[in-house]
Amino acid sequence: MNSDSPMKSFLRVLLRSPGFLLEVLLTIEKSAWLTPIESPWLKHLDKPPQLMGKSSASLHLLLLLLCFVSGSRRYMFCCPTFGRPELDSGCKSASSQVDSAEQGLAAMAAKKVKEVMLKPRRHWVGDGFHVYPVFAHKAFTQDLSPFLMFDYGSPEHFPPTKQQLGVGKHPHRGFETVTIAWQGEVEHGDHLGNKDVIHPGDVQWMSAAKGIVHEEYHSREFAKTGGMFEMAQFWINLPAKHKMDPPRYQPISKESIAVVDLPKGAGTVRVIAGSYEGVTGPAMTFTPIDMWEVLLQKAESSAELMFPEGHNTIVFVKRGKASVGGQGDILNEQDVALLGKVGRTVPVRALADGTELLILSGEPIEEPIAFQGPFVMNTREELMQAQVDYSRGQNGFELR
Ligand SMILES: [Mn+2]
């Protein structure tokens, strides 16, 4: 929306740094340029400062400017080297002001969209889940870390049936599966005896870690009546040190997920994981992750979402149409934007009423990704070990 030009950014820092301005004014005043005009600014100093020659004043100004432009640390470093202790404290406070102004600017810098991936072709997972593989060719790449895969089952009508639609027993190791149901119901069962139905609005955050053998179906109740079905499943990587942890289930009910208003009545944020404006989501995560559902009420509703520095941020348009990122890339329904790690804010603006976005953002896990079918480890050897363990029913895959 409002990406700052370099000049605007520069002026902003300048205006926020009275110490820097003062130093410039003092130098000009003390230089031979202005003498012998009496100083209105230097009266408070005990010792009358020595006059600077035109050339040393020019050099000082030039250095100040260079230091200022090249970074506040060096500005602080070179400031006192002019041997004028009367300015040292002002100098330090000026530097710290520059620092905080810079941090403020970094916080305001809008992330840019690195790549927009268009709605992919749908495929079936088992006979129950007709999904868009949203991450397409980027799935399981470092570009999306810690997120590995994202299947979105768009709204679809299923007739009543006596069959159990879904995916039968299959293993997982080394990562987490996160399932959200929006319409219809998903039933999970596993070899540890967990059984759970994910109702509309609920989330199931399952850390497979060292091993889960897992079944995923439409719930019996839903199969009986049939109806509209809409869900998503994300695969999220675990860092090496947690890949062989015991499995962990987090059934997260709709009621436990806070819905926060966006400023100016633009819409709402449902905070599943991470935090928005100090409101923390219920999901426990192994690495810092934000998972939010953002609703923009009307076309032209907009918001500035903020994330920690250095995180990979992904914006998926579940419904409607939106402009995303510092350069206002346009995304249609079921397109996804991958934003760079640089910058902290993501401006979003709806281009249709009732635009719904899914936001995934997290600290990248800087480790090799080895994957094969339902296993995600760091090396080929670990994948082979997972195969062996599953086929022998050992080391986390002990079937009852
Ligand atoms: Mn599964």
| Residue 53, token pair as written in the block | 């020659």
CA of 172 to the centre of ligand 1 (A): 7
DSSP 232-298: EEEEEE--GGGTTSPPEEEEE-GGGSEEEEPGGG-EEEEEEESEETTEEPS---SS-EEEEEEEE-S
pLDDT reported for residue 75 = 45
Side chain identity at residue 193, one-letter code = G
Element (H, E) at 205: strand 203-207
85 preceded by cis ω (within 30°)?
Answer: no
**pLDDT confidence band for 76 (50 / 70 / 90):** very low
Structural domains in the chain, CATH included, are 6-108 (no CATH), 113-380 (2.60.120.10)
Give the number of other Cβ atoms within 10 Å of residue 294's Cβ.
26
- Ligand 1 is an ion; residues with CB less than 5 A from it: 214
Q: How far apart are CA 237 and CA 222, in angstroms?
A: 31
For residue 24, how far is its CA from the centre of ligand 1 (angstroms)?
64
Question: Residue 216 C-alpha to ligand 1 middle, in angstroms?
Answer: 6
Q: Cα of 341 to ligand 1 centre, how many Å? A: 29
**48-68 confidence digits (pLDDT tens):** 555 666 677 677 677 667 766
Q: Is 349 exposed, middle or buried (0-12, 13-18, 19+ CB in 10 A)?
A: buried
Q: What is d(CA 98, CA 15) in angstroms, rounded to the nearest whole number? A: 10
| pLDDT of 36 over the 90 cut | no
Q: What is the 3-state secondary structure (H, E, C) of 342-398?
A: CCCEEEEEECCCCEEEEEEEECCCCCCCEEECCEEECCHHHHHHHHHHHHHCCCCCC
Measure 177 CA to ligand 1 centroid, in angstroms.
7
Instruction: State the average pLDDT for the chain.
Output: 85
Q: How far is the CA of 71 from the centre of ligand 1 (A)?
A: 49
What's the pLDDT tens digit per position in 256-282? Answer: 999 999 999 999 999 999 999 999 999
Of 235, 250, 249, whose CA–CA distance to 174 is shortest?
235
**Ligand 1 centroid from CA 131, angstroms:** 14
Quote the ligand 1 centre to 227 CA distance (angstroms). 23
CA of 311 to the centre of ligand 1 (A): 26
Give me the percent of the chain exceeding a pLDDT of 90: 65
